[in-house]
Structure 1
């Protein structure tokens, strides 16, 4: 089928762009395009990130790709294809011709005029192809892996095993948006998986694996024999061993069914307690606190998010929660949970003996790797249940690949040292890299730069990087939540950057790290321009 293109439209002049610059231009009344000049070539792609619609001209231009200013997704300027995540779809890509008078003429596929996103071409199953690839896990890693396999030409049988009753969905929103419906969360409709012959086993869990026999045993009493397998079973939320933790109304929030159950329980008369200093605990207090009579956040640390953000930023987050009417109890914990004769939670007892009324207790205190079914499989497990991989997400066992939360995989931005990092963006990236290597067309190495994001009472927090830090340097206005926080190790190297109200600074740091460049304390000390370091991004291809 021949693509139907529009007539050429003059969107700008070549002189409107400097080298290594991108700008947004109007194509027609309803369509804007991102025009990029790099290495003396002009490219044009869609301007809206396919994740949440961020305007990409306010993002970061890297070497051959543009990075979203909000959450760090990356798209090729040559093809519009998504290369790093979050998100699923690619951008429309436009034909460009530069006239002798410098006019930049752009032509669009007519079907792209109605869409800000594009699904990459995918193949279907070929009955003559007897290979079977299995994806274990219906989370972000599994979903991207399955799609990428079909996009990269795998025509054998493709089975995706989903423990939950739902097709893959945007799990990030579960703790952030209490009123969301599963239909709006799901990445794709059932017809998508049917059209591309991706078998989805929903409500089915993996119970056992035999690497020697290349056989996966399932909870529906069936087995699947595979040629290659990708395991991305993620984590389960865990409850601490507190007396009374099994009472009704004591909840965790990880899956959509958790959200549904909490929504059934909570009323305007509820006393809500959230335990933990993690993002999950804070997001839960924000989401369901507005539906309760009273919301209390209890943490064993002095400030929330101290492990990630440090004390200074953590203290500001604490003030944000207090300003929003959330009661906070820091440097404390729950020693006992009390219930009534019907086993419903009624109160919690704190470390100092204080008794707080509690109708719903949400625990955001930890998680456990879902890898018990792999014990005895022949696949080596670490003591914590994670699994070591190489740069290609291959394990020590042939034809077994691992990704997502359970993968103890190399982190490019941290000298390729292994780590198991539970970030949504990284899980999707793992799914893509694993699929490329399973297909074997090319050998694709991990270049992982973790990127995390959350929204707390309307304030967007971004974080990129990984590693232990000894010091935090704050630049900007912390009180008004327009700041950048730099996290430095003992060698004065910046291992991570966080921000609020300062996009695209974290995306700039992520792109800097993805280019193999580093940032040090001395780079932050220009009094006339505290973000002068971002100019390093324009030195494309050079290592600093």
Structure 2
């Protein structure tokens, strides 16, 4: 019987308390973490996209990924927060003769070559184990929507011990997939179709999750606890989670050419594949809307030198309302350096065809026309809640107001793009269309469906990547009075703090990953410094340590 190999990684005094460092071992790497005087060993890369975890931090007993803030428990490596789906593999170690010795399994995760190609859940993670159930459960739980919230809710229900019937209804004809890749690596041709699924097919079979593709819900009867599907099926439920996501906004019929071929939205895998294929021969691409999706699509489509890409946006600078005009100008300049033309203040008047009957020009309200053989709409989304109109009270924007535990009414919860919830710590309510927020809400909703009262009080976090440059954002500042800058925005190395009514409510940064981990934690603790204090250089790790005392 062969023994698992043991590797001598480092001297026992190699790390100080709180430090993390990756060490080579065979054909992989091992992360050593020293916490409270004890060493712990883990896989060195995050099981989400393969981020180097040695650049992260340990916060309140959780190892936080530097890229997208997935969290894993120290010492066990159990998943605490998405966007990762799997646990972080942990390895046994021992101290002998002043050395740290780690034992690796025969199939230790290897370092991924690229975060674009591997499927999300297959970059070296350990699939969470299901909790043992004491009794059989005769209930049926139904999840409407197989996106970020729905997939995480289904996974959580099973790992937390639900043994009843679990139905996951997806409106699309495929398994749940990583929507965040569509406008980035997938559209740019760096990620293949097989890199998109969040889980392989056998995951749902093994966990007895009835995933139904092409399952469109047409009506809901809360009194009878039944759903009506487009194929005529009636589906009863005992607990219901509504997370149908959003649909892309299209041009109104009043816009000439609103339904011409060559006009694309970018919301689904099908949308992205059609757009990617059509763009192969496109020479003049026009993106309507300076949204994150619009600008990411522009960056992904701007590769070939013979292709002209133009963005039409109502704002003078992209993202000005969310990030401020200075950061918006930096992104505009970044796009222009790569050949993208940004037309701020330009409004679409119509589209028209050429002699061949194909899309040929875009007309602006100014009277100017632009050549266009492909147009991408990035003008926002709306909640996919038409089937709930007249059944449940919808907000003005089509969302569902939820309580602190994401409940809508008895036996019904909502999560993801459709949920209007109370913001922490900013106050007020908002609908937030962020991938990680949807996953977090899916998990919290699942716990509440199981009768485990859990409040949703997470700090929103999102990221964008354009031309290889990544920005992270934590918090939520719907309107701000001031922005405090540290670093150089124009060189993509900065921290921006958003102030409203004397409080710092959000932060955006590039190349400040360790600081952003601390800032998200400080926002959650409601221990952010005052704006006056934050105008001076701060050690965010020290501030967090004090706040946790």
TM-score, structure 1 length as denominator? Answer: 0.91
In 1: Cα distance, 2:272 partner to 2:399 partner: 27
**CA offsets per residue over residues 493-529 of structure 1, 9 Å max, x none?**
2211112233333233112223342132233333xxx
Change (3 A) 1:65 1:515: farther
- Tell me what 2:126 maps to: 118
- Asked whether 1:200 is paired with 2:211, we answer yes
The answer to whether the 8 A contact 1:371-1:386 is kept is yes
Cα distance, 1:38 vs. partner?
A: 3.1
Query: Structure 1 CA distance, aligned partners of 2:147 and 2:256?
Result: 32
Secondary structure, aligned partner of 2:425: helix
- Say if 1:133 and 1:157, in contact at 8 Å, map to a contact too: yes
Q: Does 1:533 align with 2:540?
A: yes
Cα–Cα, structure 1 residues 235 and 160, in superposed 2: closer, same or farther, change >3 Å? Answer: same
Residues 420-453 of structure 1: per-residue CA shift (max 9 Å, x gap): 100011111111111122223x432223111111
1:518 aligns with 2:528: yes
Task: Provide closer, same or farther for how the CA distance between residues 391 and 42 of structure 1 changes in structure 2, counting only shifts above 3 A.
Answer: farther
Contact 1:252/1:258 (8 A) holds in 2: yes
Q: How does 1:48-447 map to 2 (within 5 A)?
A: 48-97=45-94, 103-110=99-106, 112=108, 116-122=124-130, 129-176=137-184, 177-178=186-187, 179=189, 180-241=191-252, 242-291=255-304, 293-340=307-354, 344-377=358-391, 379-395=392-408, 397-415=409-427, 417-440=428-451, 442-447=452-457
Q: Does 1:452 align with 2:452?
A: no
For residue 496 of structure 2, the aligned residue among 485, 490, 500 is: 485
Q: Which moved more, 1:337-346 or 1:511-520?
A: 337-346
CA-CA distance at 1:340 after TM superposition = 4.6
Moved more, 430-439 or 125-134: 125-134
Kindly tell me: are residues 47 and 505 of structure 1, through their superposed partners in 2, closer, same or farther at Cα, counting changes over 3 Å? Answer: same
Q: Deviations over 1:23-63 (max 9, x none)?
A: 3344x323433333334444333321111111111112200
Structure 1 residue ranges without an equivalent (≥5): none
CA deviation after TM superposition for structure 1 residue 388, in Å = 1.5
Deviation at 1:117? Answer: 1.0
CA contact (8 A) 1:44 1:95 kept: yes
Cα 1:61–1:331 shift into 2, 3 Å = same
Residue among 18, 21, 24 paired with 1:23: 21
State the alpha-carbon separation in 2 of the partners of residues 538 and 124 from structure 1. Answer: 37
Distance 1:199 1:354 in 2: 53
| Residue 255 (structure 1) shift | 0.6
Taking a change above 3 Å as real, the CA distance of residues 427 and 66 of structure 1, as seen in their structure-2 partners, is same
Question: How many angstroms does 1:308 deviate by?
Answer: 1.3
* Contact 2:28/2:108 (8 A) holds in 1: no
Aligned with 1:499: secondary structure? strand
Distance (Å, rounded) in 1 between the aligned partners of 2:102 and 2:260 = 63
Q: Is the 8 A contact 1:123 1:155 kept in 2?
A: no
Name the count of aligned residue pairs: 529
8 Å CA contact 1:63–1:540 kept in 2: the answer is: no
Two-structure CA RMSD over aligned residues (Å)? 2.4
1:342 Cα deviation from its structure 2 partner: 7.2
| SS of equivalent residue, structure 2 residue 92 | strand
Question: Do the aligned partners of residues 166 and 151 (structure 1) sit closer, same or farther apart at CA in structure 2, a change above 3 Å counting?
Answer: same
SS for the counterpart of 1:16 is coil
Over residues 313-337 of structure 1, what are the superposed CA-to-partner deviations in whole Å (9 max), with x where a residue is unaligned?
1111111111111122111111122
Q: Judging changes above 3 Å, is the alpha-carbon distance between structure 1 residues 290 and 123 closer, same or farther for their aligned structure 2 residues?
A: same
8 Å CA contact retained: 1:5, 1:109? no
What CA distance in whole angstroms lies between the structure 2 residues aligned with 1:374 and 1:513? 34
> Closer, same or farther in 2 for the Cα pair 1:515/1:36, shift >3 Å?
farther
SS class of match (2:290): coil
1:167-196 deviation line (CA, Å, top 9, x unaligned): 000101111131243321011111111122
For residues 27 and 425 of structure 2, the distance between their equivalents in structure 1, rounded to whole angstroms, comes to: 39
2:120 counterpart residue number: none
Instruction: Note if contact 2:354-2:361 (Cα within 8 Å) is conserved in structure 1.
Output: no
The separation in 2 between residues aligned to 1:541 and 1:269, in whole angstroms, is 54
The superposition leaves residues 448-473 of structure 1 with CA deviations (integer Å, 9 ceiling, x where unpaired) of: 11111111111111111102311122
Q: CA deviation at 1:67?
A: 1.1
In the alignment, is the contact (CA less than 8 A) between 1:149 and 1:435 conserved in 2?
A: yes
